[in-house]
Structures are given as structure tokens and as C-alpha cells.
């Protein structure tokens, strides 16, 4: 129990850096897709630079952070007495469901990363801007679940997350209209 707070601190640090990597990598995907639409030589210069930036972010920050956050989480859950107690609580099951969705999100980001490293553009910048909000929704969900813990409150939290998601989508559409108007 003495070392539990150290484990939790390390887990939180790597969760923060993992999310920072996920937030920024998708923004870099937007820039890579936009760079592909430029004319030479700007296109080649930007693509080369963005490939280097995404490679470093992905393999030096994001992947190691994901692995270390997971290691410390598993350690807390399966090798401490408190973790065993948490695993019996319904809110933890819901949280672990969101963590599973985060792993799926990370995996899809890895797929997109590989495609862009190979100059394969399969998504639009609008898709990427919306995709970028996925990590935000997961982060909000997990934080509210961990802080509120009891079932009644996390149900309100899930409804809040759905409402938040709708607001993000509406905000995105509003921003897109403004951007299109300014480009005209």
C-alpha cells in the first residue's frame, strides 16, 4: 500500500503524456493532408518535415506513454489490495470499457500514421478534425467516472458526455461554415 501512490502518480503522468501525444498526432495528420494539396516544392518540404515530426511524436512519446500508463495501471489493479477492491466496483468496469475504446482509438491512429508515412491519404482534413475529438470524449468520460465513482453520478456523466459530443459536432459544423466563408 505504501507504494500505491507512487504507482498512481506514474500512471497519471503517462496517461497525460499519452493523451498529449494523441491530441497532437491527429493535428499533425491534418497538416500532413493539407501539405499534400500544396504545389512543389512546398509540398515535398512540408511532407518530409511532418513525417519526421509524427514519427518522433508517435514512437518517442505516444507509444511509450501508452505502454507505461498501461503497465502502471495493470500493476495497481492486479498487484495491490486496493486494485482488487476497485475491480469489484461497477464504475471501474465502465472505465475499463472506455480504456478499451482508447486502445482502439490509438490503434486507428497508428493505422492512419502508417498510411500517411507511406503517402497514402485515405481521410479528409474534416474527418481528422472530428477524429481529434474522440480522445477528448474518452478523456472526459474516464475523468468523470474516476472522480464521481457511484452509479447514479456516472449515469449523469455519460449523458453529459453524449451532450458534450453533440456540442463538439455542432461547434465543428459552425467552425467549418466560418472557414468556408472566409475562404470565399
DSSP-assigned states of every residue in 75-140? HHHHSSHHHHHHTTSHHHHHHHHHHHHHHHHHHHHHHHHHHHHTT---S-HHHHHHHHHHHHHHHH
List pLDDT tens digits, range 37-64.
999 999 999 999 999 999 999 999 999 9
Is 110 annotated to bind ligand?
Answer: no
User: Is pLDDT at 7 greater than 90 in this prediction?
Assistant: yes
User: Is pLDDT at 116 greater than 80 in this prediction?
Assistant: yes
* Rounded Cα distance, 184 and 177, in Å: 11
Is 95 annotated to bind ligand?
Answer: yes
- All three cell numbers of 16, joined, read 497525460
Mean pLDDT score across all residues of the chain:
90
Query: pLDDT value at position 165?
Result: 77
User: Under 8 Å CB-to-CB from 139, ≥6 apart: which residues?
Assistant: 19
List pLDDT tens digits, range 63-94.
999 999 999 999 999 988 888 888 898 888 88
* Rounded Cα distance, 57 and 38, in Å: 23
Query: pLDDT value at position 1?
Result: 64
Amino acid at each position: 500500500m505504501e507504494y500505491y501512490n507512487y504507482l498512481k502518480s506514474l500512471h497519471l503522468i503517462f496517461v497525460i503524456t499519452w493523451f498529449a501525444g494523441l491530441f497532437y498526432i491527429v493535428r499533425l495528420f491534418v497538416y500532413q493532408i493539407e501539405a499534400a494539396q500544396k504545389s512543389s516544392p512546398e509540398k515535398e518540404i512540408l511532407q518530409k518535415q511532418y513525417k519526421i515530426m509524427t514519427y518522433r511524436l508517435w514512437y518517442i512519446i505516444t507509444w511509450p506513454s501508452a505502454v507505461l500508463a498501461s503497465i502502471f495501471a495493470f500493476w495497481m489493479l492486479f498487484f495491490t489490495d486496493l486494485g482488487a477492491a476497485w475491480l469489484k466496483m461497477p464504475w471501474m468496469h465502465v472505465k475499463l470499457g472506455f480504456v478499451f475504446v482508447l486502445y482502439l482509438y490509438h490503434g486507428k491512429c497508428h493505422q492512419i500514421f502508417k498510411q500517411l508515412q507511406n503517402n497514402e491519404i485515405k481521410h479528409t482534413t474534416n474527418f481528422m478534425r472530428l477524429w481529434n475529438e474522440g480522445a477528448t470524449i474518452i478523456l472526459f468520460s474516464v475523468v468523470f467516472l474516476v472522480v464521481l465513482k457511484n452509479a447514479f453520478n456516472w449515469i449523469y456523466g455519460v449523458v453529459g458526455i453524449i451532450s458534450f459530443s453533440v456540442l463538439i459536432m455542432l461547434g465543428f459544423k459552425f467552425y467549418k461554415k466560418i472557414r468556408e466563408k472566409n475562404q470565399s
